[in-house]
Amino acid sequence: MEKIVGVHLLVELYGCDPSLIADAEVFKEKIEKIAKEAELTVLKSYHHQFHPYGVTSLMLLAESHLFVHTWPEYNYIAADIFTCGDERKAYKALELMIKEFKAKDIKKIEIKRGIFKEECVKVSP
């Protein structure tokens, strides 16, 4: 039997509503709502406004991290979602991002992180 440490999703969202991803204040409200509804524990967050538009958001999570970069001129979001423990949280965050930003198409790469055979997992004293 295998055990994993977490799941890492590398995501591209296409056809997003540019009015939701151009301004840091609007984006921050949405991405923090997504984190809360996905039951992610935000330890620290930073949201940077690019000019004339575009946002980068970094969220340090107790579960790992959520990094998001927006290009409203292309209706595009690139996201990096890594959660340890309950991997359903990463998928919930992705589902909410698709809904909240009105993405019309997505590309996703899923990486299972820290795959161990159950008998290989040992705790050092």
Q: Is 124 part of the annotated catalytic residue set?
A: no
Assign domain 2-120 to its CATH superfamily.
Answer: S-adenosylmethionine decarboxylase (3.60.90.10)
Catalytic residue among 45, 47, 65, 69: 69
Q: Is 47 part of the annotated catalytic residue set?
A: no
What pLDDT, on a 0 to 100 scale, did the predictor assign at position 115? 77
Catalytic residue among 8, 16, 57, 64: 64
Phi and psi (nearest 5°) for 19? -70, -20
What pLDDT, on a 0 to 100 scale, did the predictor assign at position 3? 81
Q: Is 120 part of the annotated catalytic residue set?
A: no
CA atoms within 13 A on the CB side of 125: 0
What pLDDT, on a 0 to 100 scale, did the predictor assign at position 4? 85
Catalytic residue among 45, 47, 84, 124: 84
What pLDDT, on a 0 to 100 scale, did the predictor assign at position 71? 98
Whether this model's pTM surpasses 0.85: yes
Are 6 and 87 within 8 A, CB to CB? yes
Phi and psi (nearest 5°) for 50? -95, 155
What pLDDT, on a 0 to 100 scale, did the predictor assign at position 110? 96
Q: Which two tokens stand for residue 88?
A: 């359903």
Phi and psi (nearest 5°) for 65? -155, 160
Give per-10-residue mean pLDDT for the chain (125 aa): 87 98 98 98 98 97 97 98 94 98 98 76 57
- The residues spanned by each domain of the chain are 2-120
Closest CA to 46 of 55, 35, 36: 55
